Structure 1
Amino acid sequence: MTFNAGLIVELAVQGIINGAIYAMVAIGLAMVFGLLRILHIAHAGLFAVGGYVGVVVTNASGSFALALGTAMLVVGLLGVLIYRFCYEPILSKPPYVALIASVGLFLAMEEGLRLVFGDYGLTFTKPQLPGSFQMIATVRYAELAVVVMAIVLFTALALFAKHTRAGMAWRATVSEPAMASSFGVDLRRVRYLNFFIGSAFAAAAGVMVATLNNVVEPHMGAVPSYKALAIIVIGGFGNLQGTLIAALLLGIVESYGAVFLSAWLDRDSVAFAAMLAVLMLRPQGIFATAGGIKKGWRIGSLFKPASLKPSKRTAP
């Protein structure tokens, strides 16, 4: 195989784009696991629903921005409903109960999309963000939009978590839920917020993938589901900083692996290989903090420790 600088750069760019998509999907999974210790497999179904809402609204209104906002709002609210009616009643049960329920929800959403929209998916009546430009490599406008979207969303999340009272309450709940409750934090509202944000991120990823491929399909969440699982394992089980780094690394490794390792590994098998290697060599995840898996779970590790002032309200 011939090596050239142009190919190396092009693969790096493609890896960053893939990593941005993986990060938007995996961040919600990491948020739910960090808060509730639940493997939220149904998150992949929300990714697919977001893609469908984006295509349907774009085709009906002609506005891609409206479609993106609608998808994030609708899927965010759907995530809250999933927590309220599926997970909340079984929080006291062993973790595998929630896992089974989550897998069932994912399959139900996948089959629901197939029944409503058919087996062959939907396409945009007019491709969104067409065209490309030449920088270091040829980049499509849709690909640039994916990276910009990821940067904007993660920057907004960081600012929200660091500079708003709700964000401080969220971080405090993840780190020390009992103490946060004693300070007057409403744990239920924090969990609703957690599911809304994570689900909205998945919807944004679904819409952007639909834009890249110009198609959405009922099973489009299947591959992101196991890749997101691999990412949170590599990143350190709920550690948001580790999740973001792992998503970017996986995207780049997959991009190069699809070219240079194609004789031994399929592109989608790279995530499994990486996850198995990490589980064997460092079960707590590469980016878990010193002291074990429990510290690696803490979402607050992405930001400075939260500081809440005591409240006179009675804990819920």
Structure 2
Amino acid sequence: MEITFDLLALQLFTGLALGAIYILIAVGLSLIFGMLTVVNFAHGAFFMVGAYVGVFAAERTGSFWLALLIAPVVVGGFGMLCERWLIRPLYGRGIDYPLLLTFGLAYMMVEGVRIIWGKTGLPFDTPELLQGATNLGFAHFPTYRLFVVGVVTVLLLVLWLLIEKTSFGLIVRAGARDPVIVRVLGVDVSRVWLLVFGVGTGIAALAGVLSAPLQGVSPEMGTSVLTVAFVVTVVGGMGSLMGAVVAGLLVGVVESMAVLFFPEAAKVSMFLIMAGVLLVRPQGLFGRAGLMS
């Protein structure tokens, strides 16, 4: 197969679109860890439940756009309940306790979905407005994937403004570094933790809805996603939003290019990236040393 500039450019755009999904999956995980120091093994399950809630909302309302709004709100609210009544009592007991709890919670969520919706996967059609392809000048590219890139870009801008330009973001950043001092200053840190966990799980649900037209919806869809989320988060640095963005794009582009040049290695390319980064920087590209201790 002849490798032309147009083919390379098309594959690059494919990698960026794939990386956008990876970013959306990893940002919520990184946000939760950065503030709560909770390794959320239920993140893939929240992603999966978000997709199912999106299907349910789209069927009941007849609108994909309403499903995009409803799923993050519903799953984010459920995530807040989980943080308040299941995870919060384990704070201060070591990082292993919430890790094991969320691991079990993920299994419960998957089985709950199987009971409600069945074991067979469900289709989720691309909305009519976003079907087809858009002419980029050098090639035609699926319109829906461009839409996903746009949504992720807007969401990242909103998150950056929230964290860097608001008093809530200042509390989040300070609480991630020293929650004791923040408490001394009279801030209810537990309420901030609650909101951060809700935002993180809501973003996972949004990723699930956006991914549904690309891969369908099934109870097992969160398993592979969880692997990708942790790879991207570890490469970027645990708790670093900038790291999640850079690592998501890096993994997406490398995987896409591997499909073109070395298809057999495409699926393992992300693990090669992770191994290479950890050999040079054990804390990840933008992570802080000692954060896991």
1:163 aligns with 2:165: yes
Percent identity over the alignment is 37
Q: In 2, Cα distance between the equivalents of 1:287 and 1:107?
A: 31
Partner of residue 177 from structure 1, selected from 167, 176, 179: 179
- 2:254 alignment partner AA: V
Moved over 6 A (4+): none
Q: Is the 8 A contact 2:131 2:144 kept in 1?
A: yes
Q: In 2, Cα distance between the equivalents of 1:137 and 1:185?
A: 53
CA displacement, residues 177-202 of structure 1 (integer Å, 9 cap, x when unaligned): 11211122111111011111111111
The 1:126/1:8 distance shift into structure 2, 3 A limit, reads closer
Q: Is the 8 A contact 1:236 1:293 kept in 2?
A: no
Give the structure with the larger helix fraction. Answer: 2
Q: In 1, Cα distance between the equivalents of 2:53 and 2:224?
A: 19
**How many residue pairs were aligned?**
290
Partner SS, residue 221 of structure 2: coil
Deviation for aligned residue 1:271: 2.0
In structure 1, what is the equivalent of residue 32 of structure 2? 32
The 1:268/1:39 distance shift into structure 2, 3 A limit, reads farther
Higher relative contact order (CA 8 A, sep 6+): 2
Partner SS, residue 221 of structure 1: helix
Q: Tell me the C-alpha RMSD between the 2 structures.
A: 1.7
Structure 1: unaligned runs, 5 residues or longer:
298-316
Greater mean alpha carbon deviation, residues 74-83 or residues 133-142:
133-142
1:138 aligns with 2:140: yes
CA displacement, residues 226-284 of structure 1 (integer Å, 9 cap, x when unaligned): 11111111111111111110011011011111222223x2x332222222232333211
1:85 aligns with 2:85: yes
Deviation for aligned residue 1:127: 4.7
CA displacement, residues 22-41 of structure 1 (integer Å, 9 cap, x when unaligned): 11110111111112222111
Deviation for aligned residue 1:126: 7.1
The two structures have a TM-score, normalised by structure 1, of: 0.87
The two structures have a TM-score, normalised by structure 2, of: 0.93
CA displacement, residues 6-26 of structure 1 (integer Å, 9 cap, x when unaligned): 211111111111111111110
CA displacement, residues 95-120 of structure 1 (integer Å, 9 cap, x when unaligned): 12221111111122122212221222
Q: Is the 8 A contact 2:123 2:213 kept in 1?
A: no
In structure 1, what is the equivalent of residue 69 of structure 2? 69
CA displacement, residues 274-295 of structure 1 (integer Å, 9 cap, x when unaligned): 2223233321112235xx344x
Partner SS, residue 15 of structure 1: helix
Q: In 1, Cα distance between the equivalents of 2:261 and 2:114?
A: 36
In structure 2, what is the equivalent of residue 306 of structure 1? none
Q: In 2, Cα distance between the equivalents of 1:203 and 1:149?
A: 14
Q: Is the 8 A contact 2:50 2:72 kept in 1?
A: yes
In structure 1, what is the equivalent of residue 151 of structure 2? 149
In structure 1, what is the equivalent of residue 203 of structure 2? 201
In structure 2, what is the equivalent of residue 115 of structure 1? 115
Q: Is the 8 A contact 1:51 1:71 kept in 2?
A: yes
Partner SS, residue 139 of structure 1: strand
